[in-house]
Structures are given as structure tokens and as C-alpha cells.
Chains A and B, each alone.
Chain A
Amino acid sequence: MADAPSVAIISLASDFGCQVQITNIDPGLLQVLGLIDLRYWQLTSSGHMPEEYDVAVIEGAVTTDEHIELLRRVRETASVVVAIGSCAVTGGIPALAGTIDADCRFAAVYGEDATVTPGLHSPVAISRYIDVDYIVPGCPIDTTEFLAVLGRALKGLSNGMPEQPLCASCKTHGNECFMRRGDLCLGIITRSGCDAKCTTLGRPCTGCRGLAPDANLEAARKVYAAFGHDFDEVVTALDLYNTDREVCR
């Protein structure tokens, strides 16, 4: 495996769900392990980060000074950085913390005298601090898409992320439209590529993949209003994964 690219899988603030998803790659996981030299996987190891690696796969949002320092080191070391999951790609659910007064929240949870982790930040996507070469959005990541993007990263191809919203993909499954049934669905502005799993299983899109780069937000705003969803309702739904609108695009 001397020529195999070395990979480190690193986690910041998250529930480790995307790393768990990687273990769900069956049977492809063992095959992809044959292509790489996996030097570090935070979920499966108590050891320390290696000094050298070619590809860094990073899950989780940035929440502390320590994270920022780690990211800078990773960027200097790795030739390729892959952000996986909505926490790392858009800030995801952790970034919701930035929409309220954090100090009051800590006091409510831990009591007035609790010492909070030093250097704590409002959670943000990793691209707020370092350049990211490849993204695998979603909450959690789709295993097939992760393998595809990792494969493209190993071969130096483009990310291959779709730019359009979800609707076309949803239509190919012969789904009824949630919007037509009166439900709020974020599919009209959310990045495609998930194969419309949620809407096909009967749940409206909650926007976990971030805003579609080619979404027409002005038009969508009018469509939502025309279908009886006021702007606050849309914003609240969108905030679940996409509080950082700039990063989300």
C-alpha cells in the first residue's frame, strides 16, 4: 500500500453520525479500504492524529479555538480536504446555537457558576476557516455519495455536486408534491443529489443538503407565499440546517 493515498477521518462538533454512516457502507467499505492507507479514524481509535496524511475527511462544525487550530494544521498537512455532513458543510444543526443568546443558554443548562469550555465559538461550517476542496452534504451523508466523492477526490476529479434543487429528482420517483398538499417543503431550494429519499419515504424536504447553488430564492419566496407559507415559517424551517446563508450556497 506504499502508493495508496493516506487518509485521516477527523471529527469536530457533531454527533459522529456521518462517521457511523461510513461504517454502514456495506459491502463497499472493505473495498474502498483497499484503495487507501487509512491512518486515522477518530470514531474507531483512541490514538493520536498522525503527522502526515494526504486526504483529510472532516465531520462536524467548528465550535472552539482548538478546532480552529486543528483545522489550520490539517489544511497545512493535507493536500485534499473533504467536508462531510451538514455540520461541516453548512454549520448544520450545531449552527442553530448562533441564532440565540449563548450565555443565557449555558446558564439554563449548567447553572450560573458552571465553567464553560474556554475559547468557545458560535458553531460554523469549516469553510469559514479553511478552504474546502470537496463536500459531501447531508444529514447524515449518503454512503453512495460519500464513496463517489471520495473516489473523485482520490482521482483528482471535480466534486460533481448537482447545482439544481431537489424537485426533478423527487419527480422521477413519482411522488406527489408536498407543496400541492399544503405542506412546507424545502425541496424547491435545496441542493439535489440525495435521490429524494425523504420525500419518497413520505416526509417533506428539510434542507439538510444546503441551498442549491442555482436555486431561485426570489422566485421561491413568491411561491411559498402563494402556497400560504409566510416568510417567517420558511426562515424557521430553513434555519434547521442553514443558518449561515452565505456558506449554504
Chain B
Amino acid sequence: MFFRMIDKDRLPDLVRGLAAEFEVVGPVAKGDSFVYAELEGPGDLRLDFDSTLLPPKEWFMPPRERIMRFATADNEVVDCEVDAPPRVLFGVHPCDVNGLQLMDNVFLGDRPDPYYKARRENTLIVGVNCQPSDTCFCNAWGTDETHWGFDIFLSDLGPDYFVSVRSVKGAELIDRHVESREITHQDTRRFQEVTARFKASFPEPLDTSQLPLLLDAKFDSPVWDELGERCLSCGACSMVCPTCYCFDVKDVLDPDHAGGERVRVWDSCMFRDFAAVAHGANFRESRSSRVKYRYYHKQWGYLSKFERVLCVGCGRCTRACLAGINPPEVIAALQGAMSREEVAAE
């Protein structure tokens, strides 16, 4: 890693320079919110965004993607090309950079997913620092900062950006497209001050102590029943989650039935048919079991395999869930919850 300083009024040069080589995607305004979209020009870029409606995962695993075309007559695959244009994701908060790394654990492991991998390899990440909103709890997981998983990272120091350069590609981008200067001790001091102010601006972090043990101890807690009664089973939480990676695969026939396409679509463990199998059996028929296993997967199962929880505290599910079900609420409820035996004894 090395560091450079870029004056803020030079940033459009970088965006324009990148646009000559890449599809440049960044946060843009949509109503009162923000979404990632291809930039028409540097003026669209809104690095003052709080969060985006959808996380960056849509640029690596789209909500619906064709994974192959097939012919029915001979049952052959006729096309399985991956659409992975050279792209820059310009303006990714630390939580979402972490989110992509958690996705990587799943899609780039022993058997890499070729679709995800191709897009990941063809996409450069430009991170940017942020200010906590009232739904953020990234500081509970340490995902309020990121040290890997980006090519360059912009930290806003007021008149200029303190730029962390992580990759060779990132260094080339800075070198080619924008005027920058070396950092001074004073710049480093200013960066530290901004970081300290950022850390101090969070409310008290969520108490996540002994979380996997807590989940084990509260497996039969009535809390899950209550959550199941409140859950709309709409799956909004999963769609907006930067770390939910579950998908369904469907075959869609052409109108003439001579061929068709196999598509991958985002799925949610909140859906009743998510765990339905042949002959109508369903491992997660009840809503409470679906909510419960969502939390067990994120805070227990994934943790047991990758030593990190499958949550980055971005707060999108908090904003998406109209029923008010979200990790801070659920964890707090579990900490205060009585077991079934305790309830029975009262």
C-alpha cells in the first residue's frame, strides 16, 4: 500500500479518464435515495451518499442473469458466455467492500463461480469513506474500515482526498488519469484526525459479545416465535443485503420450445418455497424457523466456516424491513430473552 493526495477539484479528471477505458458505475441520486448506476459524467457521481438502495453485489451477481442457453432437440448447451465488461465501481463504502470480501469467500473458494469470478476480475473498486447514518452498526463488526478488497480508497479530508493505493491497477489509474502529489506528515495527521472523528461519531456499538454462544443458548427462545409472527416473509431483507448470496436456478423455454435459457435469480430464505423439496416436504415451513435460520446462518454458520459473521452492519435491512426486524433488534431481544423453560416457570 502507498498513499497519494488528490485535490478534490481534480476528481472529475479521474472519473473522465476512467470512462475512456471502463464502464464507470457509481452512486447517483434516485428520489430521496441513491443507487449504483453507470455514470453519464462526473457530475452524476454523489460521493456524499449515505447508502444505496441495493448493495454493490448486483454488479457481480445480477438479480437475474442468464447462465446459459440450451437447445431442447439435442439437449446441448449452445452458449454460456459471461457478460463481464471492464468496469470500475467508483464509490464503495468500507461496509460494502467488506461485503464483497464475504461474498468472495463463497464464490471464489474451492470451486469458483465463473460468472462471479469473471466480473470480480474485470471490476476495479474505488472505495470512499463515509459518515455513519442512524441505521449503521458496522462498528460492531469492525467493518467500518477496510484494508483490502479495493484498488484505491478515497478518504475525504475536506479540500482533498487522502488516497490509499492498494493494487498495481489502482496505481496505474492514479498515474494515468489524475494529478496527485505525495503525502506529507501533515496529511497523515489530518487523515488520522478524520478517522478519529469518524470513529467517535458512532453511537455505542452493538453488544455482540459471545454472540454464537448466545444463539446456541437461545435456540428455543420464544423470541423466534414473536419474530415469525411479525415477519412479512417478503424477502426484502435478503435482496438489499450485501452479503446474502443465495440464488435459485430456473429454466425458461423459448416460445417455440426449441430452446431456452437457464437463469440464476436472487432467492431468499424468507420464502416458503426456499426449503421446499419434492413431494411437498419443507424444512422451513414456519416463518419463525425461516427468520431463525437466517440469523443462525449469518451469525453462526458462516462464522464457523470463515471466522467472520455474514453481516457488515450497513443497515439496509433495517431500512427495508417494514416490520422492524433487523440485527440490532434481534440481538438485543435475544440478550434479554428468556428461554422457554423460564417463560413456563413464570
Contacts and interface: CB of A to CB of B under 8 A. Distances in A.
A165 interface: yes
Secondary structure dominating the interface of A: helix
A66 interface: no
Interface in B253-274: 253-257, 266, 268, 270-273
A179 B255 contact: no
B257 A35 contact: yes
Contacts, number: 117
Contact of B322 (A148, A174, A218, A227): A227
B54 interface: yes
B52 to A, nearest CB: 8
A181 to B, nearest CB: 8
B321 to A, nearest CB: 9
Interface in B185-231: 229-231
Contacts of A180: 319, 322
21 contacts: A28-B256, A35-B255, A148-B252, A151-B257, A164-B234, A164-B270, A164-B273, A166-B234, A167-B235, A167-B236, A168-B236, A168-B238, A174-B58, A176-B30, A177-B320, A187-B234, A188-B234, A214-B271, A216-B232, A219-B229, A222-B230
Contacts of A34: 256
Interface of B: 30-33, 35, 52-54, 58, 63-64, 229-236, 238-240, 252-257, 266, 268, 270-273, 287, 319-320, 322-323
Interface string A169-181: 0111111110111
A215 B232 contact: yes
Contacts of B54: 171-172, 174
Given A171-B320, A223-B323, A163 B236 contact: no
A227 B323 CA distance: 10
A32 interface: yes
Given A174-B53, A215-B233, A151 B266 contact: no
B96 to A, nearest CB: 14
Contacts of A227: 322
B236 A171 contact: yes
A218 B230 CA distance: 8
B242 to A, nearest CB: 13
Contact of B33 (A35, A172, A176, A218): A176
Given A31-B254, A216-B287, 15 more contacts: A147-B255, A148-B253, A163-B271, A163-B272, A168-B234, A168-B266, A172-B54, A172-B63, A174-B54, A180-B322, A188-B234, A214-B233, A216-B232, A219-B231, A219-B323
A28 B273 CA distance: 30
A220 interface: yes
Contacts of B256: 28, 31-32, 34-35
A213 B64 CA distance: 23
B255 A28 contact: yes
Nearest to A164: B271
Contacts of A148: 252-253
Interface in A215-239: 215-216, 218-220, 222-223, 226-227
Contacts of B253: 148, 151
B255 A220 contact: no
A211 B280 CA distance: 21
A29 B255 CA distance: 8
